[in-house]
Homo-oligomer: A and B are copies of this chain.
Amino acid sequence: MQKRFARMTRIDDSINAIDGLECWGIKEGKDGLGIVKCEGKISGVFTTNRIKAAPVIVTAEHVKGGSFKGLVVNSGNANAFTGEKGFENAKRMAEILASKLSCKPEEIAVCSTGVIGRQLKMGWIESKMEEVFARLENSREAAKNFVKAITTTDRFLKEYAVKVGDIIIAGVAKGAGMIAPSMKSATTATMLAFLFTDADLEKTEMDGFLLNAVERSFNVATVDGDTSTNDTVLLISTGKKKVERDDKELFRDALTHVCFQLAKMIVKDGEGATKVFEVHVKNARSDEEAFKAAKTIANSLLVKTAIFGCDANWGRIIAALGYSGIEITENITLWFEKDVESEKNGKKGNEKVYLLEKGVQTGFEDEASDFLRKTDDFRIIVELDVGDGKGYAIGCDLTYDYVKLNAEYTT
Contact = CB atoms under 8 A, between A and B. Distances in A.
Interface of A: 47-52, 80-81, 83, 115-117, 179, 184-189, 224-229, 299-302, 305-306, 308-316, 318-328, 330, 359, 361, 365-366, 369, 398-400, 402-404, 406-408, 410-411
A220 B258 CA distance: 39
Given A186-B318, A319-B226, A83 B330 contact: yes
A315 B186 contact: yes
A226 B301 contact: yes
A406 B400 CA distance: 11
Contacts of A328: 50-51
Given A226-B319, A400-B400, A404-B400, A369 B184 contact: yes
Contact of A51 (B306, B309, B312, B318): B318
Contacts of A319: 49, 51, 116, 186, 188, 226-229
B305 A402 contact: yes
A407 B372 CA distance: 13
A50 to B, nearest CB: 4
B184 A322 contact: no
Most buried by B among A47, A81, A302, A318: A302
Copies of this chain assembled into the complex: 2
A228 B399 CA distance: 22
B407 A312 contact: no
24 contacts: A49-B319, A49-B322, A50-B322, A51-B322, A51-B328, A80-B315, A81-B330, A116-B319, A179-B302, A185-B313, A188-B316, A226-B320, A226-B323, A227-B323, A228-B319, A301-B402, A301-B406, A305-B403, A308-B403, A309-B406, A311-B410, A369-B411, A398-B407, A400-B400
Contact of A326 (B50, B302, B305, B318): B50
B410 A313 contact: yes
Given A185-B365, A188-B316, A402-B403, 11 more contacts: A49-B319, A51-B318, A51-B319, A184-B313, A188-B319, A227-B319, A227-B323, A301-B402, A302-B406, A309-B406, A398-B403
B311 A184 contact: yes
B48 A325 contact: yes
Sorted nearest first, the 10 A-B pairs with minimum C-beta distance are: A186-B315, A309-B407, A51-B322, A305-B406, A311-B410, A116-B315, A227-B323, A49-B322, A224-B301, A305-B407
